[in-house]
Chain A
Amino acid sequence: MAPHATTTTVPDYKNIPHAHRLPVTHRDVVRTFSKLSRQSLISLAQQWLAKKNRDFCRPYLASDQDAEDEDVDEAYEPAHSYDELQETYKLMAARKGGRKESMDRILEGDWRKGISMYQLATAEIQHLLDHPTTLRWTAKRMARIPNNRLVKDMEVTNESEHLPRFQAQTFMMNLAKELTPLMKAHYLITRIKTLPITILRVYIHDSPYSTEASLATDTSQGTDSAKAVFFIWPNGSPFVYVSLATHLGQVVGDEGRHLRDIVQQAIPKAFSRPSSRYQLTPTNFTARSLSALLAYRGPGKSNAAAGGWSIFADSSFSQNALDFITTGRPDERKKATGDDTTSGAKTGPGRPKRALDDAETTAVKRRKDVAEGRFGSSAKPNDGQGIERFEVRIDDPFPAIPNPTDQQEEDLSNIDNSQSNRDRRGRPSMLDRTIEDMEAIQDEEGEAWVPDVRLTFTGSHVFAGVRELVEKGVVDGEKMPGWMTGEASVTIGAVRHGRIRTKEAGLGV
């Protein structure tokens, strides 16, 4: 790896090395650094100054100073050694101060000659970890393309491995091999300590050159495309999360989207080996929160046990096999005391007034119990596993109108005269019925009327909201279909026979 840029500008087949620098006024640099907190900035600077990273993050030292272009009023005196700089940042970390101060010190002082690609990448990953909901992620599955020649592919033996093997160096080499003819890119792949994930950041540089100068001049073109793409591999699972838009509210241009798609297509190829090839298949799951993704498409026990089935994933359904205690658990005790007070009130003197209260509290309690039964230990407002958007299309025939006994059916009959709006704007939705879907509906329902009804739930935590509605009595918890509890663990799907249709037989891991 060449530590410094070459002066020639010949198109080449190299990656952008970690040490290449962007000018501090570069849009990406400014955007990233202005979002980081003081604490994050200082800890980043300290890590850049660590011995093993110095190759990639050369600060501006006094020895770099040219005698000729000596600035008269330098705001920041260049340091004389790495140790001095480390000391400076240690002192900064110890005292209080503004965010701007540390940012200015980094951009205008110690790294005034430019921020290296390595620094930018680590800064962006730091921001991602500080704010784990800034990006929107789509979970995909790395599925092995079935190979008819080798039938024992699917066999489970002592040596067989059903997950794609992730070996960072080999993967990076293969990925670079796929991508360098098409674009220049900077890669940073890092394993996170606090979460069981590995993050790959690909900084796309749409140019035939991989020099520092070409990186810097890219700003002037003004293409407003997102330049970095993130991929996350949860450890020990067949999934990969792809970031849809790199930054909140940033428009991703067509060109940017195509480049991103190219990177995405290269991922399964980089994983593939002779006689075991992979493809990315959709899993119908999109969310902002990384912890939600890890719960629904992660390495743990909760993937196929969402909604009310969450009681099986935590130990609330069956305690340890050697735990013989049946009475006197703290939660039971609480319940018991609650019962006591209500029953005491019933026999108490103020009967007529209390009776009303009692009826209400028992109804509330019952609704709470129903919600508990339907949602289990999931869909708590503060569990951090919120899904922002949940979309379904109903493929069941319209309920017969003559007996609109249910509240819901009345509601639906109001909608029935509004024709399905075919002139929907924008790109085709993933929920649009395909021809096969139409045929399947025709086959099963015959002449029954199956309007194109779509429901979209949005909010900060959709299923916690539904649970609250059940607890408040707005939604009937007992008649509510199962997909409203999130137990299908998808964020987009089609409902058939009252259930989310799953393409594969059985809920896969």
Chain B
Amino acid sequence: MSAHVVPACLSRVRRVPDHNTNPTFPQSCHVMASIDDIDSEISSVRARIASLHAQRANLASILLSTPHLSTRLQQRPVANEPLRRNASKIVKKQTSHNLENVYRACAGITAYRVRDPDPNAVDNGNILGVRIEVFVQSKFVETYHVLFSRPSARHKSMLRVHHHTVPACIPVKQLANKHLPQSQRDASKTTDQDLIKFGKLLRKELVAWHLRTAAVQKMRIEAGIEGKGKRRRATAEEPTYGKVLNAFVSDDEDDDEVDEEEEDDNSQSHERPIKIIDVESDLGVRHVSVAWSNGRTAALDIAKDGDITKAVVKTADGSRLPDLERRATGRVEGLLDRWST
């Protein structure tokens, strides 16, 4: 499809000085053997173009962020006035973007203003946006927004959640009811509104949720269920209609199944290994269930801050294991260590 596109791209690439580092760079376009070769070459060139674009953009923003660049642009005489104006515009854009990013990265919660394009919007479409950054495992993983409108013409400070991008497992509505009360008809007591507190608590909920998710994910990796390139080979055999939750199979059959799986996936431990075969949690990561290869199961309740508050561990025949239950309570992060000791 891109026979005529490639040469154009190539010419653009060639201008970049370090093109000779790439061994696949098509010096000999005429000896292409097959379509596959051409395709792979095209895709490698495309990837290279993309990486060079990214590099260029990166360099550009570094250049534009140079200190005192705008003053120097102002002071030096230039031949072309419009170009300078354009340049200082770009510099200004970069500077304001940098400032915004610094605030977002350091404050965690930032506010901005947007306009509702709806011609019938309340308050001429003035919207206050609150942006919450979630920083988990040395990364900014997600940004959430809550957008407020001012529905009351008389009480200009009264805010209402207009739209938001907070997932359903976070009680944003309950928090809004508490800290941003909406008095329906009699707008007399609007003093209870506390946007700062709302933002703080919402951020706490969001970060706690991400931390719980990350902790359970880590637990899965520790238990060797997923991650580290060790995908479960069962995917092909797993039914497309999913895992039937009310199919109670007889015990001996179940054991057979488990034994098979053990033989297949387990090579590191030798004598009768009892290992965790499944760690499941709900989306809000408040309830986690763990299954072992010998039919033992555990159900855990996790508080929002990541403490395991309740735990039930049962063997395959239904008797409880109080020792494991006692050791389960505590932080969710060290659960497997506590269990293994």
Contact = CB atoms under 8 A, between A and B. Distances in A.
B97 A162 contact: no
- Chain B interface size, as a band, is 35 or more
Interface of B: 53, 56-58, 60-61, 64-65, 90, 93-94, 97-98, 101, 104-105, 116-122, 129, 131, 133, 140, 143-145, 147, 160-178, 182, 184, 201, 205, 237-250, 253-254, 256-257, 282-284, 286-287, 303-305, 309
A400 interface: no
A299 B143 contact: no
B304 A43 contact: no
A126 B101 contact: no
Interface stretch (A58-66, A306-314, A385-393, A444-452): A306-314
A328 interface: yes
A162 B170 CA distance: 8
Tell me whether chain B's interface is mostly helix, strand or loop, or mixed.
mixed
B101 A322 contact: yes
Nearest to A327: B60
A55 B104 contact: no
- In the complex, which of the residues A239, A301, A326 has the most CB atoms of chain B within 10 Å of its own CB atom? A326
A321 B104 contact: yes
Contacts of B205: 156
B264 to A, nearest CB: 14
B305 A158 contact: yes
Nearest to B151: A505
A52 B253 contact: yes
- In the complex, which of the residues B118, B133, B166, B287 has the most CB atoms of chain A within 10 Å of its own CB atom? B118
Nearest to B179: A156
Given A18-B247, A321-B140, A509-B168, A191 B162 contact: no
Contacts of A168: 245-246
A303 B244 contact: no
B165 A312 contact: yes
Contacts of A193: 238, 240, 242-243
Interface residues of A, number: 93
Contact of A192 (B56, B164, B241): B241
B240 A118 contact: no
B288 to A, nearest CB: 13
A191 B289 CA distance: 15
Contacts of A53: 247, 249
A187 to B, nearest CB: 6
A493 interface: no
A327 B160 contact: no
A301 B144 contact: yes
Interface in A79-117: none
Nearest to B63: A327
Interface string A180-198: 0000000111111110101
A168 B122 CA distance: 44
Contact of A321 (B53, B101, B164, B256): B101
Contacts of B166: 301, 304, 509
A487 B116 CA distance: 11
A235 B283 contact: yes
B246 A189 contact: yes
A169 interface: yes
Nearest to B243: A191
Interface stretch (A204-212, A254-262, A431-439, A475-483): A475-483
Contact of A154 (B93, B170, B177): B177
A166 B120 contact: no
A495 to B, nearest CB: 9
14 contacts: A53-B249, A125-B241, A154-B178, A193-B240, A236-B167, A237-B283, A308-B117, A315-B143, A327-B90, A481-B118, A499-B121, A507-B161, A509-B171, A509-B172
B339 to A, nearest CB: 23
Contacts, number: 234
Contacts of A327: 57, 60-61, 64, 90, 94
Nearest to A154: B174
Contact of A190 (B118, B169, B244): B244
B168 A238 contact: yes
A236 B248 CA distance: 25
Contact of A166 (B56, B240, B250, B282): B282
A2 interface: no
Contacts of B169: 163, 236-237, 299
Nearest to B235: A193
A399 interface: no
A165 interface: yes
Contacts of B257: 51-52
A52 B249 contact: yes
Interface in A470-509: 478-482, 485, 487, 497-499, 505-509
A302 interface: yes
- In the complex, which of the residues B53, B257, B284, B287 has the most CB atoms of chain A within 10 Å of its own CB atom? B284
A163 B284 CA distance: 9
A237 B168 contact: yes
A195 to B, nearest CB: 9
A56 B117 CA distance: 57
A265 interface: no
Nearest to B280: A191
A478 B162 CA distance: 20
A119 to B, nearest CB: 11
A241 B90 CA distance: 49
Contacts of B174: 154-156, 162
Given A158-B304, A190-B241, A312 B118 contact: no
Nearest to A310: B165
- In the complex, which of the residues B64, B93, B120, B284 has the most CB atoms of chain A within 10 Å of its own CB atom? B120
A188 B246 contact: yes
A300 interface: yes
Contact of B64 (A187, A238, A326): A326
A187 B286 CA distance: 27
Given A51-B256, A236-B167, A326-B93, 18 more contacts: A18-B247, A47-B239, A122-B239, A126-B241, A155-B178, A158-B304, A158-B305, A161-B284, A162-B173, A169-B246, A190-B241, A236-B168, A236-B284, A315-B143, A321-B133, A322-B140, A325-B60, A327-B64
